[in-house]
């Protein structure tokens, strides 16, 4: 029995497995929102004409990927989970799961909508990521207040609130630009934001 | 060979992994039922007009999340699985997998249906959760009768039948209210129910 | 480094994880094929009228569940994987992944089709399961011929070809009945088949 | 605490779990692109008439399966991950996730399109796999340059660039044939390519 229990994964692993499931499904479901051409003789035009969908797809894929990397970085440095961490994690996963929806709204707004529709769509997208920033802030804040959940070997700088705040403020600014200035600029920010993040992490960590 | 077999996960882990897969996919597939606006110039109205969809989405997300937390709590306290546990778990997963369907029926009923359609939809939703309560009852009851499946260190109070019964009765009452009184009240209960559960667990377990 | 490698899962676990992913996704995607009512005032009739969809859904859910239990039983008794096992497993997963398709064809045939369409649909469904039986036969046969892949503690009776053959012949007979006699009887067999299997396993293994 | 941390999986396992999630979801989502017949009395003709969809489905299933086998072969031979490996892996997963899209474009082109549409579709499909070859090339190249990430027991020949180059060139040639000669030949190559790969691996590794 001792032997068997030694081989069991601890609870942290199961939370990670469930979270990884949600992250990997949300990131893969994004593809279902890409429009499949069905007009005889127009496939090339239709595919090329959907370029905004591809940008929205790439932005969402990259952002979920970056958030997964952050989640991974934090959860490999904790030693236990409690119910307070579990529900905060669920709220974060909610914002990840829902992301294919505003991504599809952006694609639809650029396919059939007016520029007001496009502004609505990028604001909806920005709001979901702002909610994600808040959820991430709550989760990291909870970990910062509960050092007994940390792996004793973990560097506490992994539980700082800078990243969630940057997410919250960055997507807030992008949404405001999308509404008051231009949806296209907001869209460009949505794509560049996660790429900049990867570049910064690389320059820090090699 | 001994070394390698030491590194293998036991059967319990694989049941958890499969269950986590179903939970995380069902919770993420919910997003596919949100209606993407496609009417030129009306995106903002369309998005706001779908607020009942969002409530149904949140209710289902929260309820699956809470059920996953309960599943996780129980399965991290068992030491083995047998075929009796496996098929009871499959029945529970069936009720989880099917949930995106009544969730979408509610959204459709509030989009195009009459108030009778809305009553039908909330009753269908309630029936799926009642089935889930029955499946959960069967699974916990089986574990209560088979203490050799428990982790010896586990507190037996984790295998009590109170929670499945509350689920069964609670969703039964909500469905009855939805049918005889008002679908809107039933919908509110569906959303509040899992949130109350999280609050209660927190006040117990910190 | 030694410490770290001790914590790594072996290759068998990763094949199981990938297989569990495919099983759990296929079993959960089935729900997307259920038709959501959208006719004002007719939700109750529409939901009840789709009862054949629910039978097809239950049959597919139960059959994938049973096949997963068999897969689980075999893979927890092997000690290693090689490329021959990997590709046979992939062929088996192919037949599992494709199952939501004939399930939806049955639902569509009973929604809009003639009785010839229904016969076509149940034969298509039976053919996919016959292919699954063949794939399962190849996989088990490969394991039977390669005892070095077994866990030394495993009972060789877990690598017998009876089950794949019963699957192949059983679904073949059901498909033939569906084509020459009645699609409804074939459908009933599809549903009863996995349930009988669970009952038999229980009476054997408690 | 030491005991608990011993049972934790290392970071490599979580990257594998996330990758396996994406691979298994992408391979299973392919089924959603198969067209379900809905014309009364025509189910048999409709199903048979969709044979190109099935070839595209099989080609994508086999190719993702083969790429998963390659991914598995490499990741079971590494001892650690860093941010450089993580983002290269994300780019590879992007090309896997997007594959259901060009697969559906091929099916649509053979359902409603002209031969120019079919050429467009097979080129789009080839381009995604060429991108996958580039991503695989970057990932393997990074591992080749960073031997400290290898499992010390791993044979360095597992980190050679031959396979990504063959993928890149092979799909490039197939896409060119599809555009300048015949989409049907390209489609045949897409199907035969992964099967040849499995045969070759078997003849090498038994």
pLDDT confidence of D150, banded at 50, 70, 90?
confident
Q: Which of A43-47, C30-34, C195-199 has the lowest mean pLDDT?
A: C195-199
Instruction: Provide, rounded to the nearest whole percent, the portion of chain D with pLDDT above 90.
Output: 64
Between D201 and D8, the more confident residue is D201
> Which of C15, C93, C124 is opposite residue D47, by nearest beta carbon?
C124
Between B43 and C149, the more confident residue is B43
* Spatial separation of the C-alpha atoms in residues D70 and B29, rounded to whole Å: 29
Chain A positions touching D14 (Cβ under 8 A) are 16, 20, 72, 75-76
Contact state of B5 with C68 under an 8 Å Cβ cutoff = no
Query: Is the pLDDT assigned to residue B71 strictly greater than 70?
Result: yes
Specify the pLDDT at position B94: 97
Query: Is the pLDDT assigned to residue D3 strictly greater than 70?
Result: no
Specify the pLDDT at position B204: 59
> Which of D28, D40, D62 is opposite residue C22, by nearest beta carbon?
D28
Specify the pLDDT at position C11: 64
Residues of chain A whose beta carbon is less than 8 angstroms from a beta carbon of chain B are 1, 4-9, 11, 14-15, 17-18, 21-22, 25-26, 29, 32-33, 82-84, 86-87, 90, 93-94, 97-101, 104-105, 108-109, 111-114, 116-117, 120-121, 124
User: CA of B65, closest CA in chain C: separation in Å?
Assistant: 16
Chain B positions touching A33 (Cβ under 8 A) are 36
> Which of B4, B97, B108 is opposite residue C31, by nearest beta carbon?
B97
pLDDT confidence of B198, banded at 50, 70, 90?
confident
* Spatial separation of the C-alpha atoms in residues D193 and D196, rounded to whole Å: 5
Residue C41 zone, left/alpha/beta (φ > 0; ψ -120 to 50; rest): left
Specify the pLDDT at position B1: 30
Q: Which of C2-16, C157-171, D139-153 has the lowest mean pLDDT?
A: C2-16
Query: Is the pLDDT assigned to residue B106 strictly greater than 80?
Result: yes
Q: Which residue has the tokens 């045949």?
A: D188
Q: Which two tokens stand for residue B76?
A: 């991290």
Interval D75-94 mean pLDDT: 88
Q: Say what the alpha-carbon torsion angle D71, D72, D76, D79 is, to the nearest 10 degrees.
A: 30
* Spatial separation of the C-alpha atoms in residues D12 and C8, rounded to whole Å: 8
Chain B positions touching C153 (Cβ under 8 A) are 5
Interval D87-92 mean pLDDT: 93
Chains that touch A (3 or more CB pairs under 8 A): B, D
pLDDT confidence of A7, banded at 50, 70, 90?
very low
Q: Which of A200-204, C13-17, C177-181 has the lowest mean pLDDT?
A: A200-204
Specify the pLDDT at position B4: 34
> Which of B20, B41, B205 is opposite residue A14, by nearest beta carbon?
B20
**Residue pLDDT, tens place only, D168-198:** 999 999 999 999 999 999 999 999 999 888 7
pLDDT confidence of B42, banded at 50, 70, 90?
very high
Query: Is the pLDDT assigned to residue B8 strictly greater than 50?
Result: no
pLDDT confidence of C206, banded at 50, 70, 90?
very low
User: CA of D143, closest CA in chain A: separation in Å?
Assistant: 14
Highest mean pLDDT of the ranges A60-64, B163-167, B202-206, C84-88: A60-64
A161 burial via Cβ count (<10 Å: 0-12, 13-18, 19+): middle
Contact state of B1 with C57 under an 8 Å Cβ cutoff = no
Q: Which residue has the tokens 């941010």?
A: D83
* Spatial separation of the C-alpha atoms in residues C42 and C24, rounded to whole Å: 33
pLDDT confidence of A5, banded at 50, 70, 90?
very low
Specify the pLDDT at position D6: 32
Interval A16-34 mean pLDDT: 92
Query: Is the pLDDT assigned to residue D202 strictly greater than 80?
Result: no
Chain D positions touching A62 (Cβ under 8 A) are 90
Query: Is the pLDDT assigned to residue A88 strictly greater than 50?
Result: yes
Query: Is the pLDDT assigned to residue A84 strictly greater than 90?
Result: no
pLDDT confidence of D39, banded at 50, 70, 90?
very high
Query: Is the pLDDT assigned to residue C85 strictly greater than 70?
Result: yes
- The alpha-helical segments, DSSP class H, found in chain C are 2-7, 11-29, 43-49, 51-75, 83-97, 100-112, 115-145, 162-180, 183-205
Between D158 and C64, the more confident residue is C64
Contact state of D29 with A32 under an 8 Å Cβ cutoff = yes
Interval A88-116 mean pLDDT: 96
User: CA of D181, closest CA in chain C: separation in Å?
Assistant: 31
Chain A positions touching B202 (Cβ under 8 A) are 83-84, 87
User: CA of C103, closest CA in chain D: separation in Å?
Assistant: 10
Interval A159-166 mean pLDDT: 85
> Which of B10, B28, B72 is opposite residue A26, by nearest beta carbon?
B28
DSSP, residue by residue, C110-145: HHH--HHHHHHHHHHHHHHHHHHHHHHHHHHHHHHH
Between C195 and A101, the more confident residue is A101
> Which of D20, D65, D206 is opposite residue C90, by nearest beta carbon?
D65
> Which of C31, C38, C61 is opposite residue B112, by nearest beta carbon?
C38
Query: Is the pLDDT assigned to residue B157 strictly greater than 80?
Result: no
Specify the pLDDT at position C10: 57
**Residue pLDDT, tens place only, C22-57:** 999 999 999 999 999 999 999 999 999 999 999 999
Query: Is the pLDDT assigned to residue D103 strictly greater than 50?
Result: yes
Residue B75 CB partners (closer than 8 Å, separation 6+): A14, B12, B15, B16, B19
Contact state of C113 with D72 under an 8 Å Cβ cutoff = no
Contact state of D25 with A28 under an 8 Å Cβ cutoff = yes
Specify the pLDDT at position D104: 96
Chains that touch D (3 or more CB pairs under 8 A): A, C
| Planar angle of CA A88, C30, C190, nearest 5 degrees | 140
User: CA of A206, closest CA in chain B: separation in Å?
Assistant: 31
Chain C positions touching B86 (Cβ under 8 A) are 69, 72
Chain B positions touching A1 (Cβ under 8 A) are 79, 152
Specify the pLDDT at position B63: 95
pTM equals 0.91
**Residue pLDDT, tens place only, A169-193:** 999 999 999 999 999 999 999 999 9
Cβ B150 vs Cβ B143: under 8 Å: yes
B95-127: burial string, b at 16+ Cβ within 10 Å, e else = bbbbbbbbbbbbbbbbeebeebbbbbbbbbbbe
| 3-state class (DSSP) for residue D150 | strand
Residues of chain B whose beta carbon is less than 8 angstroms from a beta carbon of chain C are 1, 4-5, 7-9, 11, 14-15, 17-18, 21-22, 25-26, 29, 32-33, 82-84, 86-87, 90, 93-94, 97-101, 104-105, 108-109, 111-114, 116-117, 120-121, 124
Specify the pLDDT at position B205: 52
Chain B positions touching C8 (Cβ under 8 A) are 7
Interface-testing mutation among B13, B21, B24, with chain A (most A C-beta atoms within 10 A)? B24
Query: Is the pLDDT assigned to residue B7 strictly greater than 50?
Result: no
Name the nearest CA neighbour of C102 among C204, C37, C33, C159: C33
Specify the pLDDT at position A11: 63
Between B27 and D16, the more confident residue is B27
D54 burial via Cβ count (<10 Å: 0-12, 13-18, 19+): middle
**Residue pLDDT, tens place only, C146-195:** 888 887 777 777 778 888 898 899 999 999 999 999 999 999 999 999 98
Cβ D31 vs Cβ D57: under 8 Å: yes
Highest mean pLDDT of the ranges A175-179, C194-198, D72-76: A175-179
Specify the pLDDT at position A204: 59
Q: Which residue has the tokens 């999630």?
A: D21
Query: Is the pLDDT assigned to residue D5 strictly greater than 60?
Result: no
A165 burial via Cβ count (<10 Å: 0-12, 13-18, 19+): middle
Chains that touch C (3 or more CB pairs under 8 A): B, D
* Spatial separation of the C-alpha atoms in residues D164 and D135, rounded to whole Å: 8
């Amino acid at each position: 029995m001792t032997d068997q229990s030694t081989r069991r994964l601890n609870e942290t692993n199961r939370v990670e497995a469930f979270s990884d499931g949600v992250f990997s499904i949300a990131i893969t479901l994004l593809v279902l929102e890409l429009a499949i051409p069905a007009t005889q003789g127009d496939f090339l035009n239709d595919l090329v004409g959907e370029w905004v969908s591809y940008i929205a797809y790439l932005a969402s894929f990259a952002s979920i990927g970056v958030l997964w990397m952050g989640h991974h970085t934090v959860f490999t440095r904790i030693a236990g989970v409690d119910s307070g961490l579990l529900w905060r994690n669920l709220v974060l996963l909610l914002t990840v799961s829902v992301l294919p929806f505003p991504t599809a709204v952006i694609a639809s707004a650029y396919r059939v909508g007016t520029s007001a529709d496009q502004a609505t769509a990028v604001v909806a997208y920005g709001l979901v990521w702002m909610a994600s920033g808040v959820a991430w802030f709550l989760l990291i804040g909870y970990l910062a207040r509960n050092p007994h959940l940390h792996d004793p070997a973990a560097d506490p700088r992994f539980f700082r609130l800078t990243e969630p705040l940057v997410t919250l403020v960055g997507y807030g600014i992008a949404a405001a630009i999308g509404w008051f200035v231009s949806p296209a600029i907001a869209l460009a920010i949505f794509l560049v934001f996660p790429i900049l993040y990867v570049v910064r992490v690389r320059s820090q960590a090699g």
